[in-house]
Amino acid sequence: MPVWEPVYQAASAVVVTGQAREVLMVKSPYRSDLVLPGGIVEPDESPASAAEREVAEETGLAVAVSRLLVVEYIPAGHQRTSALRFVFDSPSVPEDAVLRPQPGEVSELFWLLAREAVARHAARGRRRLAVALHARTTGSTVYLDHRRALPGFDISSW
């Protein structure tokens, strides 16, 4: 009898904030919208380690993730495997932190107020970012699933 193994694509991102609580967003040359710094979890890498590695690679910042804000399950779609998306929090970075966008992968970095960060985020992750920012202010961790409603949360308030 064949052994069944679950297959998910896992990716991690980090809410990095400045001293005035602005959110760090990444612009890629191959994408019109902005996203949080982050990326795919590599084999034998934890989601938290992937998040820290991706932030360092994309921005030049060394951050230590502090807690999990959101886990999102995304069902398989046309030519896409099921996915798990992790969003972690991190301490605010100092005002004098030097940002170094990764050549070829990151064209620009932006510090945006929370509402603008949500509005400018790529559509597929906009709800995830809004929920992560909400979880950050409430001290909670949220599970998202496109097949389940999220009671009491209205993305339009962001």
For the chain, the domains span 9-151
9-151 to CATH, choices 1.10.30.50, 3.90.79.10, 3.20.20.120, 3.40.50.300: 3.90.79.10
- Give kind and range of the element (H or E) at residue 12: strand 9-15
For residue range 6-31, list pLDDT tens digits in order: 788 999 999 999 988 999 999 998 88
Structure token pair of residue 141: 């961790």
pTM of the model: 0.90
For residue range 30-82, list pLDDT tens digits in order: 888 999 999 999 999 999 999 999 999 999 999 999 999 999 999 888 778 89
92 confidence band (pLDDT: 50, 70, 90) = very high
Structure token pair of residue 13: 């991102």
